[in-house]
Amino acid sequence: MTKTAAFLLSSLLLAASAANANEAKAPSKPDLAKGQAISAQVCAACHTADGSRGSPANPILQGQHPEYLAKQLTEFKSGARNNAVMKGMASTLSDEDIKNVAAFYASKSAKPGFAKNKDLVTLGEKIYRGGIADRQIPACAGCHSPTGAGLPAQYPRLAGQHSDYTEAQLNAFRAGTRANNAQMAGVAAKMNDREIKAVSDYIAGLR
């Protein structure tokens, strides 16, 4: 074999090896059908089969960022987010299962919600959009966006979420029983019951 032929063969083999390595590293796309099956088999009792507007005590999962859902399920599984029921459910799921079911919920469009307490909605809007300056409470909109759309992974979509659920989570952050987000624990610690209820109700009507 000539030096030129050997060089060409070596180059081709290196290119093929690199292509195979890239293929191996490329993440597989979520399987929505598998995600739907997991939802029906594991999650439906509390979250309904498609993550829609079920019990106000449980979150609406439709339209939530898949990265955020996957993060929460992983933290339930590890115990970083403490919830005995969810730990039991999440512990049965593989990383692939988590990715698939999170993508399934994210692929759905949640129905709009509505605020229930007219007396508190003005206060809720003030806190959500402008925070409470004298106690250094930042505006919710700064991280979750003015429309409640949130940002993937770190900041969940809030728009239309059950007010009961949002209120319970803010209370849990304040009490320290939900400890998987130091930023939210710091914010909730400065809020009183009325302010938490007001902003939770306002969020329910965001769209």
Q: What would the pLDDT profile of 96-153 be if each residue is shown by its tens digit? A: 999 999 999 999 998 899 999 889 999 999 999 999 999 999 999 999 999 999 988 8
Last residue of a domain, one of 76, 106, 136: 106
What does the alpha-carbon distance between residue 77 and residue 71 come to, in Å, rounded to a whole number? 10
pLDDT tens, 40-51? 999 999 999 999
Q: DSSP string covering 123-151, please? A: HHHHHHHH-BGGGTBPPTHHHH-TTS--B
Is residue 14 domain-resident? no
How far is residue 98's CA from residue 23's CA, in Å, rounded to a whole number? 22
Q: What is the CATH number of the domain that holds 89?
A: 1.10.760.10
Domain presence at residue 18? no
pLDDT digits (tens, 9 = 90+) for 73-90: 999 999 999 999 999 999
Query: Contact, 63 vs 53, CB < 8 A?
Result: no
- Residue where a domain stops, chosen among 75, 106, 137: 106
Residue that terminates a domain, selected from 106, 129, 160? 106
**Is there a domain that residue 129 lies in?**
yes
How many domains, in total, are found in the chain?
2
User: Amino acid identity of 74?
Assistant: T
Range of the structural domain that residue 91 is part of: 32-106
